[in-house]
Structure 1
Amino acid sequence: MIPKLKMKPERLHESTLEKKKVNFTTLKTIIEHACSDREITNKMLLAFEKHIRTRNKKRIHNRCRSEYPKVILEFENYYSKKYTKTSLTHHIYHVGKFIGYLSRNFPSLSTLQSIQDCKKITIAMVTNYEEHLVDRIYLEQIQRSSVNRMLYSMKLFLDMLSVLKVNHLRYIIHQSLRAQAKRSNEYVNLEEVLVLLESIEKCRSKLKLRNISIFLLIMELGCRPIEVASIRLDDIRFTERLITLRSVKSRTRTLKMSKDLTNMLQEYLSTCRPLYPTYNDVFFVKSSGEPISSSTITSLFSEKNKQVFGEIRFSGKALRHTYATNALDNSNDFDQVSESMGHKHRRSTEWYIHRSVQRMLTRSLPHNPLNQLDEV
């Protein structure tokens, strides 16, 4: 992403044309506002456009599913039942990068399209790709955690080839490259939560009840946004004040709701949801009647944050983190907290204890004041 800087005409010269990974729309805006010489501007725009067209023709990983090589579609079908749609999309992207690298750097694999073409892949080619990614780490072009994800996707691809008896390559990610991304654990203050809730309540949107219901669900139950998007009409038992949450990441669980949350969900269901045409039994819908998605919930939090604070201070996921931290800080049973969060492993819940201790230490005094009095 090229930053929006005010550039002087003399700073734009032909060496700029050598840049890779350019955003044509952004560059067009920058050049038109910064360059007074229209001849130079047109020349640069034509060069950038030519570069982008050439680059797109070389790309083997295309966004359009119909343009995927058959080997990518084979990979997608093979792992479709094992991974969620989002995870599989990321794996497909990384496998596309791997195949694209092989096609560009090894002439014998320039026509790597079908599954049978993968017989030509050798361990030396795989090692060459790994070294390429390591070089990018040293050049600070990519994070070690990103390399780990890319190599893991490549490993899944090679494992598939082995199972299908196309190519019997065995690959293990080196220990030095097994790095995980830094896990976020945001903690939201109660004051900020109340301010945002108040702003949603005061707005005149027809979807106000829906938005408040989503907000309260995540805040009170600590559920994931994707679990909220997956709630069906028969998942909520109003008389018993129970709700069933489902997610691929965790087992199905049923949680108890407060009276206020139950009443809010009932009000949304009776007054807001009937206003829109619905073609399914999804509980939360968009204004078009289509099922709401987790990305819609993320956008909702971002939009409301910007309206109230002028910036994005916290997300729906941050409320989930806050729920877990508060539950453990208030001496609730560890196993019950882990179960209510939908964690498959205890270490996922233990993380919140570690982060809670760190947060309390940062708020405490760095030194014991009694020691200072003794020195005096």
Structure 2
Amino acid sequence: MLTREQQLYHDYLVSERQYSPQTVKAYLTDIEEFLVFLENNGGFTTFNDVQSLDVRVYLNDLYNRVLARTTISRKISSLRMFYQFMVTNQFVGDNPFENVALRKHQNHLPEFFYETEMTALFDVAYQPDDALWQRNAALLEFLYATGARVTEIATLKISQLDFDQRLVLIHGKGNKDRYVPFGHFAAQSMREYLTTLRPELTAKKVHDVVFVNHRGEPITAAGITYILNELMKRSTLTGKIHPHMLRHTFATHLLNHGADMRTVQELLGHVNLSTTQMYTHVTRESLQKNYRSFFPRAKK
């Protein structure tokens, strides 16, 4: 059960910030986890009684759980924002999360596929030995062609597709919409899926969601992850795949082929350019090619 402060914060996130239900849930979960930690470590009295020492102990606990730095950063950011809301509304006097600094870390490059690896995945996706191959091919094409998040693809509706202009309207995080172009292969595979397999699967269903499971129901993010990993197993590639790797691949390949950072930012739906700048890495092939082309002593 939410406290009065949590309920007011919930209403603020929904009505004023207009965050999506998933984002609101994530923020409230971060707050609830902090309260549970306090309860298990001396007890929680009021939000006003939380001190910087409590915050440091909690931060140390997060590190001991070997969470990803991005996860820890998000949790602390959530709590900092919550306390700022309470300070603004005079529920508490100070924000104990205001000056929390995370440990320094090495930057890790996002995982992505090389172009030859994407070709290997497409080769498997287009093999007609799977009854749902048309859906799987269209799904892989669209994830790669648009760089969309898995939740954006899972909730994609037919009405958001414009085949004449080859544009898709994507409903992004924070209720922010963006138009993203898609190419010939994505358009072709999507048309084939929508005109053949999907009508069969949804014969007894009434909804506008593009991608469906074998029962004709809207596919879930977990379902998409499962499909991609099945394609991975059948390919010549090793390891596991997560949908965000295709988003990373989309951005990486655009930049490697000359797209500017601002364009990639718009296509990905990033609010801040700094978020997009993690994609300034280049593939090994591009790195070697540029080195051989431009370094004066790289060639005889």
Equivalent position of 1:100 in the other structure: 36
**Aligned twin of 1:346:** 273
Superposition map of 1:71-90 within 5 A = 74=7, 75-81=9-15, 82=17, 83-90=19-26
- Specify the structure having the higher radius of gyration (Cα): 1
The correspondence of residues 112-123 of structure 1 with structure 2, limited to 5 A, is: 118=46, 121-122=48-49
- Maintained 8 Å contact 1:279/1:289: no
Q: What is residue 227 of structure 1 aligned with on the other side?
A: 152
Specify which of 281, 285, 293 is matched with residue 220 of structure 2: 293
Match of 1:41 in 2: none
- Aligned in 2, Cα 1:289/1:153: closer, same or farther, shift over 3 Å? same
Distance in 2, matches of 1:80 and 1:189, equals 40
- Cα 1:135–1:236, aligned 2, differ >3 Å: closer, same or farther? closer
Q: Partners in 1 of 2:125 and 2:278 — Cα distance?
A: 32
- Whether contact under 8 Å (2:180, 2:267) holds in the other structure is yes
Q: Deviation at 1:183?
A: 5.4
Answer yes or no: is 1:248 the counterpart of 2:173. Answer: yes
- The one-letter amino acid paired with 1:102 is L
Shift, 1:203, TM fit: 4.8
Structure of higher RCO (CA pairs closer than 8 Å, 6+ residues apart) = 2
CA RMSD of aligned residues (A): 3.6
Structure 2 CA distance for aligned equivalents of residues 251 and 69 of structure 1: 28
Provide the TM-score with structure 2 as the length reference.
0.78
Alignment of 1:265-344 (within 5 A): 265-275=190-200, 276=202, 277-309=204-236, 311-344=238-271
| 1:356 partner SS | coil
Matches of residues 190-269 of structure 1 in structure 2 within 5 Å?
190-248=115-173, 251-269=176-194
Tell me the TM-score normalised to structure 1 length.
Answer: 0.64
SS of match in other structure, 1:291: coil
Following superposition, the deviation at residue 96 of structure 1 comes to 1.7
Assess, with a 3 A threshold, how the Cα gap between structure 1 residues 144 and 203 changes in structure 2: closer, same or farther: same
1 or 2, which has the higher helix percentage? Answer: 1
Task: Give distance in 1, aligned partners of 2:245 and 2:67.
Answer: 26
1:273 alignment partner, SS class:
helix
Which consecutive residues of structure 2, in runs of 5 or more, have no partner in the other structure? Answer: none
> Does the CA contact (< 8 Å) of 1:186 and 1:314 recur in 2?
no
Q: Which residue of 2 aligns with 1:132?
A: 57
Identify the residue that residue 78 of structure 2 maps to in structure 1: 153
**Does the Cα contact within 8 Å between 2:34 and 2:58 map onto a contact in 1?**
no
| Alpha-carbon spacing, 1:279–1:222, altered in 2? closer, same or farther (3 Å) | same
Query: Runs of 5+ in structure 1 lacking a partner?
Result: 1-67, 110-117
Q: Are the aligned partners of 2:109 and 2:278 in contact in 1 as well (CA < 8 Å)?
A: no
Task: Check whether the contact 1:209–1:272 (CA below 8 A) recurs between aligned residues.
Answer: yes
SS of 2:171's equivalent in the other structure is: strand
Query: % of aligned pairs identical?
Result: 21
2: CA distance between counterparts of 1:350 and 1:221? 18
Q: Which amino acid aligns with 1:356?
A: V
Asked if 2 retains the 8 angstrom alpha-carbon contact of 1:145 and 1:178, the reply is no
